[in-house]
Amino acid sequence: DDDECTLNTHNCDINAVCSTIPGSFSCNCNPGYSGDGVTCTDDDECTLNTHNCDINAVCSNIPGSFTCNCNPGYSGDGVTCTDNNECTSNTHSCDINAVCSNIPGSFSCNCNPGYSGDGVTCTDDDECTLNTHNCDINAVCSNIPGSFSCNCNPGYSGDGVTCTDENECTLNTHNCDINAVCSNILGSFSCNCNPGYSGDGVTCTDDDECNLNTHNCDTNAVCSNIPGSFLCNCNSGYFGNGTHCEVVGHNRRQGRDYRRYQGQRLINHTLDVARSRSRIDCARLCITNLSCHAFNFNNNGVAHNCELLSCKMDDSPPSDRVIDTEWNYYDVQMRIEE
């Protein structure tokens, strides 16, 4: 019996196995091939789904067999594939200002708050320009990478999100002159010099009303400057309050007398009836803290006018007066028009 397989006188396909049988031979296609042995055709296990590749692998047909290769994002021999965590292995391409999130076989990139982009490229959002900040209207917004900061304007206090006006006047943080009035305004303050002073409020200089001729002293009076104001004193030979001075004439005279007062009575006056009457009334009004600027009275049909010039308590009356500790003594000066 001839061994056709050994003698290679068979007609089996190159992708078949020749087997000797008594008086003949048989042909059987190799694994991965199909046919009658004389003709064998490659089986595509990938198409036929007869492979054992992992679901996350790619099956590739090769003559008589197949290969398995894990998909990108997976590792293994192709039959078994495990997801790669690109985020923890730092094999991702996310921007430094993005968050990497692992997903099966891949990863995703999302820009951090305060940034915009596709995650691979992230650009800082300028919340101040975009007006997406929450700074107070009285605060300054400053952009910083990925966020912003709020700082209250000068004259305001707070965290920048809420700013409250500072009252520099009550806090005494102003720089107004000591002779100025501080007025609080929103976010600041103003300084205005007191009457009698000039300047910008931060520096106030006393006005010399006498030299500036802004006083109202009588022409027969002397103007004396004092801080923030002035004084008027009638010249010698004139009487009045300084803003109104009159010369003593034949129909006017200055009166002066000391009065002892107890209760509501004035006693020991020594002037004649008409002048005594006027002095008593003026003095009484003076002593009782009332005014006696001028008043008329009638004595025996004759009209008189009394103007009180001064009235003050005097602890040391003239020596010709009777001193009695029971009484209060007043120096009363007046002018009587007869």
Residue 287 in this model has a pLDDT that exceeds 90:
no
**Who has greater pLDDT, 163 or 265?**
163
Instruction: With H, G, I as helix, E, B as strand and everything else as coil, classify residue 252.
Output: strand
pLDDT at site 316: 53
Judge whether residue 322 has pLDDT over 70.
no
Would you state the pLDDT for residue 168? 97
How confident is the model at residue 140, as a pLDDT?
A: 98
Tell me: the pLDDT tens digits for 88-126?
A: 999 999 999 999 999 999 999 999 999 999 999 999 999
- Residue 310: the pLDDT is 52
Q: Give, in order, the Cα–Cα distances in Å from 236 to each of 84, 160, 220, 221, 248.
A: 114, 68, 9, 9, 10
pLDDT at 152: 98
Per-residue model confidence as pLDDT tens digits over 227-241: 999 999 988 878 778
Residue 22 three-state SS: coil
Cα 165 from Cα 161, distance rounded (Å):
13
Domains in the chain: ranges and CATH: 4-42 (2.10.25.10), 127-165 (2.10.25.10), 168-206 (2.10.25.10), 209-247 (2.10.25.10), 252-337 (no CATH)
**Residue 325: pLDDT above 70?**
no
Please give the average per-residue pLDDT across 143-156, as a whole number: 97
Considering only residues 274 and 55, tell me which one the structure prediction assigns the higher pLDDT: 55
Q: How confident is the model over 88-97, as pLDDT tens digits? A: 999 999 999 9
Can you tell me the distance from the alpha carbon of 32 to that of 63, in angstroms, rounded to the nearest whole number? 7
**What are the CA-CA distances from residue 182 to residues 8, 176, 186 (Å)?**
122, 6, 13
Return all residues near 264 (Cβ < 8 A) that are at least 6 apart.
284, 288
Q: Select the highest-mean-pLDDT range: 181-185, 280-284, 312-316.
A: 181-185
